[in-house]
Structure 1
Amino acid sequence: MADRVTVIGWDGSPLTDAGRSALAAATLVAGAAHHLELPEVPRDAERIRLGSVDLAARRIARHRGSAVVLADGDPGFFGVVRSLRAPEHGLEVEAVPAVSSVAAAFARAGMPWDDAQVVVAHSRTLRRAVNVCRAHTKVAVLTSPGAGPSELALLLEGVHRTFVICEALGTRAEQVTVVTSDKAGEHTWRDPNVVIVLGGSGPQPQGNPATGWIAGRDPGYPPAVRGWGRPGAAYGADPGPRESAELRAAQLARLGPRVGDLVWDIGSGSGAAAVEAGRFGAAVIAVDADADACARTTAAARRYGIQLQVVHGAAPQVLEDLPEPDVVRVGAGGLPVVAACAARRPERIVAHARTRDEAEAIGRQLAESGYAVECALLQSVELDTTTWAESERTVVFLLSGSRTH
């Protein structure tokens, strides 16, 4: 029985000596249809169309002979190597890599990619891939059927991005197309493809998109500042007592925003919480009924180079058309907004209250909605370090809910 498999990457160029040697000795070859048509595949070898990697791995493990898996690009970079090495298969894997499809895509675009985020989009993970595209100015998306450029564009509605769509890289059918995200759904795209997603509020790539060639400055962020839970003045506006730095830091600690998450920040105020959530790499939609607060949030995001979407409107009504959140900070709106957010089933919700009665009401609502509830009474005191006298005292109930089912 086979306990060893050689995985050969193919990027459209001739196979390496090591790849040809391994393939020539193979008695079983697995790969996509275009891999199995390669002239180097032995005629008498058993052939497996690579759909489910787990099924293929089980057949390889039972095979008596030399097994080879053909894959696009670098099979160790978001490729089949991880699945084949799963403990349940018991396979020892040797990889012969080629140029990864992501490296090839950026090469076609004439752009560096050391500052890019790379994500894989399947139908079950598409939303998280979209959230990375919301939060970052340069993202490579390895797509799959049902989670391609058109589906990306649909979920990015309202967020303008430029797509560099690289189809069938390394084959005679290779094509590179540049379109704005709102136009991507008007085309039919061939698999496999890689989508480079560019844009946001930072510097944009130079060049004429109509040529299909992008070169020049990289989009990106200003140098990151150190620390979080920074004073409200760092965001260009007095946030008021509802947004004390200490409360904000405690809220963010309980939310735990991550890359791939979508954060709702309802009652964004100065924009401090929205910006700090974005600095963790999460996508953020900041909501406020006050147009001035929306302007402050936008200005704070630009100051720190954070990509976020600002929505002007009154919650809970304005929340109905927003994409599904992973975590929610309720900075304003109280019980009705907490109830509306809980109905959308995010993993975590944080809110605050000024009185015990209000805190108990919010806690009951979260518990009845299927959340495990924690509450803490926070007191923060600012001191004038010249005289060490108390300058401001804030007392607030902090509530957090974690979804239990």
Structure 2
Amino acid sequence: MARVLRVKFKLGLFERPFRYSEKKAKTLVHRQEHIDLAQRIAEESVVLLKNKEQLLPLSKDLLKRIAVIGPNADKVQFGDYSITKNNDYGVTVLDGIKRYVGKEVEVNYAEGCGITSLSKDGFEEAAQLARESDVVVLVLGGTSVIYSGIGWGDANSKEVNTCGEGYDRNELNFPGVQAELLDLVAKQGKPVVLVMVNGRPYTIPEEVKKVDAVLEAWYPGEKGGDAITRILFGDVNPSGRLSMTFPPTTGHISMYANHKPSGKGYYKQRGTPEKPGRDYVFSSPDPLFCFGYGLSYTTFDYSDLHVSNSLATDNEVRVTCKVKNSGNREGAEVVQLYVRDKVSSVTTPVKALKAFQKVYLKPGEAKEVQLTVTTDDLKLWNRDMQFVLEPGQFDVYVGASVEDIRLQGSFSVE
């Protein structure tokens, strides 16, 4: 709040709360640099969740027909609390693919179904296009409060908002009949790339099994179609990472990475319908996709971890490691640093993210990455509700996600 008020004071909004210049707005707002930034943000936010047999990136030289299917394929998702705009102000996935491949590749489109509609009238057309194509780009998901001209409370719209302030759901599967559309398209025998446009995680373990590749695009904004297309065809190597955990079912909620330890660890035994266990009797407690997860078109190796033994004079712990691009494509890795307080007066998370850094590497290139942990990062609220730093031993984990830890070390606080 203090930061928000400080900016408002600097802008003079309290003295002149209705400052507005239409002339300046036309020259200062939505300039080309803003549009370019929107595309870059979208490109760096998309998360590659699955890439079976390296289907992605696609090569337009090897394709004759592409089927673009799904209720979000020809919609621009600007994101919650954006200015109401329609498709003319942005680029859809369909637009992006058509512009990218030009006349070299035939691109056919079918909506298949609505986002929330229960009608299956478009299923047959979608299945036929899938059969006749070399690859299918299936764009599913939800809607934010404002998208493609649909504003808050448009009673006559055929679509209903599924995500945003005041829009909660009691389950996290695909809305409407989208899961059935995916099942039908996947049965046509052609490679399927699932692109999800949404604002919350989905519980889709079976759907993920049926497709060959999965991209999580969130609400990618006005240049989302171009950003997704450039990732599909390899002009951009995906480097986004999940900022939340994807549970396998709604019943697994709440599921998050920085949970506190419990007595369940003593008898943890994964269960299945065929062989019941403990924790969850008939299922695994593992997430569908963990916090910090994200794939790349290249691979990265970690080595040479060094952790300063104790807090430095400037009250920081410095953690360094070497990261090497061991693949044949340029790419970016998000190096993540997690910390665990081994012994404390109150319970603390089993693993908590304290720092991260995205490093860009050419094939074969290696760089030293330095991450820092401050005293504030290590403090806790004790039983007297004091925010304090307790002495003791801390474990350090460095890796590509909360579950993909590559290097481990420790340091002490005296």
Larger Rg: 1
Instruction: State the TM-score, normalizing by the size of structure 2.
Output: 0.23
Q: Which has the higher contact order (CA 8 A, sep 6+)?
A: 2
